[in-house]
Structures are given as structure tokens and as C-alpha cells.
Structure 1
Amino acid sequence: MSSAARTIMLVDDHAVVREGYRAMLQKQPGLRVVAEASDGVEAYRLYKETEPDLVIMDLSMPGIGGIEAIRRLRQWDKRARILVFTMHQNAAFAVQAIRAGASGYVTKTSPPETLVHAVMDALSGKIAISPDIDHELALSHLAGERAAADLLTAREFEVLRMLLAEKTTDEIAEALHLSPKTVANLHSLIKDKLGVGTDIELVRLALRQGILTQVDLREQ
């Protein structure tokens, strides 16, 4: 790395989480946190203002999720480096994040040094995957059922995530800057691609593949 500090933006809807890994990262020589955002829309605005060398992005946030935020950032700047740091330990989310343009995927259950190493790898232009997700990706290839992540685009996966969070068609349309008709069409397309006929079957498939958990259902 050069003598100039490499700049980082943190994106997470929990201030205490941002505070924790800001403190950890700024202990590392040559790293400086220059911006923080609590959602994808704010991240997009601050990225254009600060143009950091790396974005560390959560996936589950109010409004647009991390995958859609990654897609938008990469659309605006093809050189953007984005490292996902999330609680989701499911291969489907990792596949979609990398497909959307992420430079790596690390789970929040990983040791602190795993995140630091991933940051350094991402800044060096490498793809950084935490060992637990590497294992999940390997297992996913052994499963008989085609994973939703393999069948859906990043935009379709984001619509699926919002549908599973019980967002209405109008709420999804507003968050993703789409027309309600387009969202309705995507809803039907998602069910067709995944081979389900009803929303109940869609929820069952999401539970089976770990996209949705029983904890998520209890919290809704």
C-alpha cells in the first residue's frame, strides 16, 4: 500500500456496529474511515461525495437493501470496491452480492482479524470470502434444488427480499424507483423462475433455502 491512507465508508443501520468496526479499522496502519451511512440511499449519496477506496456494506437495512445498493454504486462507478459485512450466513446472499459487484463477503460471526484481512484483500483487488461462507458455497453446489441465487438477477433477488419482508407493491416500487406494474410483473416472474405458484410456496422455498428464517417470520 502507498503511504497515503486508504479511505473507507461504513454502511450499517446500527450506529453501535459502525462505531465498533470504525475503532477496529482505524487501529490498522494506513486505513481511515471517511464516511458512515445508515442505509443504501445515504450510502449512494455519500459515496459520490467522498469516493472512498472501499465500502463496507451491510445487507439488511431500511429501504433498499445492500444488494440493491451495491448494484447502484457499481452502476455509477464500475471501479467501486464493496465488501459485504453481514449476519447472513447463506450462500444465496453471497452469490447475489458478488453478482451485483461486491469485492467480498464476510459474516459478522467471523473473528475481527478475518474482516481486517478481507479489507486488505479487497483493497488489493482480490475477492475476499470468509471461511464459513466459502463452506456454504461449496455445500450449495451439492444441493439438489436450484438455488434462488442461481436463478434470479440482483434486482429480482432484492424484490424477493422485500416481498419476504412483507413490503407492499407500492412500497417496493417507491424504494426501487419502479412502477407498481413493473414490481407486479417481477413478482410473477420470480414465482415462475422459482417454480412456485403462490406466495405461501414462495415463503416455503425461502425457508428451505435459508433466505428466510423462522426468526424473520417471528419478527414480522
Structure 2
Amino acid sequence: MSTIRFRILLVDDHAVVRSGIRRLLEQHTGFEVTAEADSGERGYQLFGETLPDAAVMDLTMPGMGGMEAIRRIIARHPAAKLLVLSMHENAAFANQALKAGAKGYLAKSSLAEELVDALQAIVRGKTYLSPEIARKIAMQTLQDKGDPIQQLSAREFEIFRLLAEGKETEDIALALKLSGKTVANYQTTIKQKLGINSPVEMVRLAIRHGVIES
């Protein structure tokens, strides 16, 4: 009897990371890496072309980025099984990725075997959070009942992150394939939802919640 091999798409802008994941998964008979992408745009395109059983996706990449790619993949393929593998180990990113439609979230610092466990879980229709991420989400839920960032949609969160990093509206529009007017409208909504008026307040809030580094 032949073993069922699940077809995996890797989306990460670092070739070394993709190579490491590929090697890890090829040692495991249940998985086969059938495509690789180095950007959110390419990941979105390849998902539609190859329709893999699951995709392993980074969040912080040049251009569109992983969060927006997840949002667009899910909009077109609602049953897509997407596992985030990110350097961001805080609850804000994990919550937003799940909100966007990801089925699992794992930090890049996790043990290699955990990636296999996570993929096995999501291809079988389950949700997977690494224990550390799950703990952080639980702690945040207890501590931050009034956490304004949780009110943001996945796209609003991504625009908030880019604005807090100091990106200009035009650059964000170009990266996310949106019009400048649309980004400006989002910016207004974000400020209203977060109750902030200035770029300085935005940066402070982003640092406080671990969205950007201080």
C-alpha cells in the first residue's frame, strides 16, 4: 500500500528557510513539497495554480506580505489549509492570522518535529497552535479585555503594522495592490478604532502590543 503524500506549498522570502523546511518534510514520508514561493503575491498565485493540500507561510515578506496573501487565498479558496510559520511570537500576530483564515500558527523558533505535527493536524481539518502561542493568546485574552488591536480586521492590522513601521500611504497601496484612496480610508478607520490621533500614538501602541520592535 502506498502512503498518502500531502502536497505542500512553501511561502517564505528566505531560500535557506524554504530549503530547511523542504529537507525536513522530505524526511517525512507523508509530505511532498510541490511548489515554493518567495513572496505573498507569488504564494497567492501558486496556491491557485497548484491547489496544494496545505501551505506553510511566513508573514513578514516584501510586497504583499503573508497576512494579505492569507486573506486573498481564503477569499478565493475558503477551504485552504494554511499554516503560519513566523518569527513573530506574540498573540497579536497569531490572532490576526487566525482571523484572516489561517488554520495554524507556529513560531520559527519551534522544534522541527512540531512543524510535522502542525501540518498533520491541519491537513486533517484541525486547528494547531504551538503551546507557547496558545498560552500567550490565553494570557492576552485574560489581561486585555479592552485590547483595541483585536477590533481590527486582518487587512486593517496589516496596514496598521506598515504605518507604524513608518511606511508611506503610497508604498502601502503599492505593496497591497490597493488604491491610495483605499489605504487612506483604512487609515482613518484604524485611527478611529484604536482611538489614536497621531503617528506617534500609533507607534507607541504598536510597540506596546509587540507589533513592531522598539
Normalising by structure 1, we get a TM-score of 0.93
Q: Which amino acid aligns with 1:185?
A: N
Cα deviation for residue 145 of structure 1 reads 6.3
Cα deviation for residue 4 of structure 1 reads 3.1
Alignment of 1:32-111 (within 5 A): 32-111=32-111
Structure 1: gaps spanning 5 or more residues:
215-220
8 Å CA contact 2:3–2:30 kept in 1: the answer is yes
8 Å CA contact 2:64–2:177 kept in 1: the answer is no
The separation in 1 between residues aligned to 2:189 and 2:136, in whole angstroms, is 27
Structure 2: gaps spanning 5 or more residues:
none
Change in Cα spacing, 1:95 to 1:144, as seen in structure 2 (3 Å) is closer
Q: Deviations over 1:17-68 (max 9, x none)?
A: 0000110011111210000111100101111111110000000000112111
Q: Deviations over 1:141-190 (max 9, x none)?
A: 12246334411011101111221232211111122222211211211211
Q: Which amino acid aligns with 2:67?
A: I
8 Å CA contact 1:159–1:187 kept in 2: the answer is yes
Change in Cα spacing, 1:174 to 1:118, as seen in structure 2 (3 Å) is same
Q: Which amino acid aligns with 2:41?
A: V
8 Å CA contact 2:70–2:102 kept in 1: the answer is yes
Find the counterpart in structure 1 of residue 204 from structure 2: 204
Q: Which amino acid aligns with 2:34?
A: V
Q: Which amino acid aligns with 2:191?
A: K
Q: Which amino acid aligns with 1:173?
A: A
Give the percent of matched residue pairs that are identical in Structure 1 and Structure 2. 48
- How many residues align structurally? 213
Find the counterpart in structure 1 of residue 23 from structure 2: 23
Q: What SS is found at the alignment partner of 2:142?
A: coil
Of residues 125-134 and 148-157 in structure 1, the stretch that sits farther from structure 2 once superposed is 148-157
8 Å CA contact 1:92–1:147 kept in 2: the answer is no
8 Å CA contact 1:7–1:52 kept in 2: the answer is yes
8 Å CA contact 1:106–1:115 kept in 2: the answer is yes
Alignment of 1:62-211 (within 5 A): 62-144=62-144, 146-211=146-211
Give every structure 1 segment of 4 or more consecutive aligned residues whose post-TM-superposition deviation is greater than 4 Å.
Answer: none
Q: What SS is found at the alignment partner of 1:56?
A: strand
Q: What SS is found at the alignment partner of 1:213?
A: coil
RMSD of equivalent CA atoms:
1.3
Change in Cα spacing, 1:149 to 1:123, as seen in structure 2 (3 Å) is farther
Q: What SS is found at the alignment partner of 1:102?
A: coil
